[in-house]
Every structure is written in structure tokens, then in C-alpha cells.
Chains A and B, each alone.
Chain A
Amino acid sequence: EIVLTQSPGTLSLSPGEGATLSCRASQSVNNRFLAWYQQKPGQAPRLLIHGASSRATGIPDTFSGSGSGTDFTLTISRLEPEDFAVYYCQQYGSSPYTFGQGTKLEIK
């Protein structure tokens, strides 16, 4: 089973700033099959990025993903108030398709 470790656990930033979230895998993720999700309190998760760098339908270009192998990054270029949430990475290259433990992005 691939273990995903996200860092930092909590990130405190202000609207307008940029954010960089990390996801490290215990072994290489096949074919860059790595996704990022956003979850707000009381809501279902929302897919942001799949295939490590492809934005899902309707996701603004302020969100971008990069990486390969064992190291992946989600970058938010300019934070809007609605971007403060919890972010999860997930690998779906080998079963079981595991999630990271999440990064909470909070308003500073």
C-alpha cells in the first residue's frame, strides 16, 4: 500500500498570497496518477487536479499541480477567501487508492 504524507499539516496565509502544498509518496506513483481534492466543512470533496497536473472541469487556473514519482505539489497562485479549506492528495495508480492525511489551509 502506498502511504501519502502531506505537508504542512496546517498552512496559515492571507488572501492574495500564494500557497504551496506538498504530497510525498512512500513509493513511486504509477503514470502520475495523483489527484488533489478540496473539502470545505459539511461538504463533499471536490476534484481539483488529476493526472498530477490536469485541472478538472471548472477549476480556475489559479490552481496548478506538478510532480512525478514520489513528490507532488499543489500550487494556488493567489488565494481567494473561498480557497481556505482542507486539501487532500490521492494516488490511484495502484490499489488500494490511498489518500494523504490532508493539509488545512487557514486564514492568517
Chain B
Amino acid sequence: EVQLVQSGAEVKKPGEYLKISCKGSGYSFTTYWIGWVRQMPGKGLEWMGMIYPGDSDARYSPSFQGQVTMSVDKSINTAYLQWSSLKASDTAMYFCARHVDTSWYAALNHWGQGTQVTVSS
């Protein structure tokens, strides 16, 4: 069974560093793109970007380029999303999700449970 399990909720202060994780299991982790999606409180879904665990090739939405960094550690089947300096506006639920097939152009059919990030002074 394909599973993506995300790290737990985080409460941080503005300016702090944060790295959240997404661990894949039940499939060949290095051959499927993983996407990251933001959902701000009471709002819709926003595609942040995607990363290919096989070679760490990452593509960012212009809205998130320079604001976050995606990475992977394929030795432990885990993808990461990190912020070097959080803002209050980063408060949101963050989902990782796997592409439905090995193509770059693919929908997201296996989702993590989400990681709630709260940034408040």
C-alpha cells in the first residue's frame, strides 16, 4: 500500500527555521515526483512545486521560488520542505502528494495527512 506520512504539527516564531518531512512507503520512492501543496486557513489549494527524488530535480511555482526549499533524502525515502526564516503568512496546512504515475505531467493521487504550521510571536 502506498503511503505518505508527514511530520507533526509545528508552532514557530517569525524568523525561525523549519523543515517538515514526508516519508514515502509501499512504492519505488525514487521514480515518482512528489508535489507540495499549501492550504491557508479557510482557503483553497496552492501548488508550491515538485521534486523528483531520483535526482533531486526541483521545480517551484514562481509564487514560492526563493521562499521555500524542497529536498529529499532517498536513503530514507523522505522528502522535505524547509523555510530559512518563517513569516506569520506561512501559517497554513502543508500537504505532500505523489504523482499518479512516473510522468512529470501527472495529477496527485496519494496524499500525506498534512502538516499544520503555525507561525506566531
Report how many residues on chain A are interfacial, defined by Cβ distance under 8 Å. Answer: 27
The answer on a CB contact under 8 Å between B95 and A44 is: yes
The answer on a CB contact under 8 Å between A88 and B45 is: yes
Number of A-B contacts (CB under 8 A): 68
Contacts of B59 in A (CB 8 A): 95
Q: How far is the CB of A68 from chain B (nearest CB, A)?
A: 16
With A44-B95, A50-B100, A92-B105 given, is the CB distance from A97 to B35 under 8 Å?
yes
Q: How far is the CB of A84 from chain B (nearest CB, A)?
A: 17
The answer on a CB contact under 8 Å between B45 and A92 is: no
Q: How large is the interface on B (under 10, 10 to 19, 20 to 34, 35 or more residues)?
A: 20 to 34
Q: How far is the CB of A40 from chain B (nearest CB, A)?
A: 12
Closest to A93 in B: B105
Chain A binding surface SS class: loop
B17: Cβ under 8 A from any A Cβ: no
Q: How far is the CA of A88 from the CA of B76 in the complex (A)?
A: 32
The answer on a CB contact under 8 Å between A90 and B107 is: yes
Q: CB within 8 Å of A: which residues of B?
A: 35, 37, 44-47, 49-50, 59-63, 95, 97, 100, 105-109, 111-114
